[in-house]
Amino acid sequence: MVINYRENNTLASLNEALLEAHIDRFLGGLREKERESKGFSDLARTSRLNRETLYTTISPTGNPRLDTLVSVLQAMGLGLQVVAHQDRDDELAALGMAAKYVWWKEPPEALADFRLFIAQMMTFGTMGDTRWMLDTYRASELRHVLRNPPPGVFNGRSWHFWHHKLGMPSVPEMPVRSMGN
């Protein structure tokens, strides 16, 4: 699930983006699922949140906080990517980068697969393009890609470089793409 919002009016545009992404329907389904299982304990434990925080986030009168939504979605095996666009020029630049680094997909589709898009840029990006990436996306978003990398994209040099560049002290084994029989 991708949430796009404009940084210049963050709160209003983020709320609008959450509505456009049908978060209300998702939260309604989540409430129903939790009602059936009689409580939030399992989901709270899996998402590493206390039950009160979780309830406040997904209750009908609650205000869904983005960080809590991300934790809940990750605990459910789903993903939520927030993409902040400063203006139309940034959007066009992002589409251009997507076309360049994920050439086998349409640019909007490539941007929707944020992990693949960023991993491709980290591995194959020019100095100027990676500077754009660092200026456009938060370090936490880039670290998230390194913690959840698409298999088969990184090479040893880029894998080690980006872990060190982004201040990640330990460098785990690179993910390996497995080939089906």
Per-residue pLDDT tens for 170-181? 899 888 777 764
pLDDT at residue 78, rounded to an integer? 57
Q: Are residues 140 and 157 in the same domain?
A: yes
Which CATH number belongs to the domain containing residue 10 in this structure?
1.10.260
Q: Are residues 127 and 71 in the same domain?
A: no
* Banded pLDDT at 38 (limits 50, 70, 90): low
Q: Are residues 37 and 91 in the same domain?
A: no
pLDDT at residue 129, rounded to an integer? 93
Domain range for 132: 87-165
Residue 127 to residues 6, 35, 87, 104, 147: CA-CA distances in angstroms?
A: 26, 51, 23, 22, 23
Per-residue pLDDT tens for 104-157? 999 888 888 899 999 999 999 999 999 999 988 889 889 999 999 998 999 999
Per-residue pLDDT tens for 72-115? 666 666 555 555 545 556 778 888 999 999 999 998 888 888 99
For residue 72, give every residue at least 6 positions away whose Cβ sits within 8 Å of its Cβ, in sequence order, or none: 30, 43, 47, 49, 54, 57, 58
**Which pTM does this prediction carry?**
0.54
Question: How many domains does the chain divide into?
Answer: 2
Q: Is 176 a domain residue?
A: no
Q: Are residues 92 and 157 in the same domain?
A: yes
Q: Are residues 40 and 110 in the same domain?
A: no
The yes-or-no verdict on residue 14 having pLDDT over 50 is: no
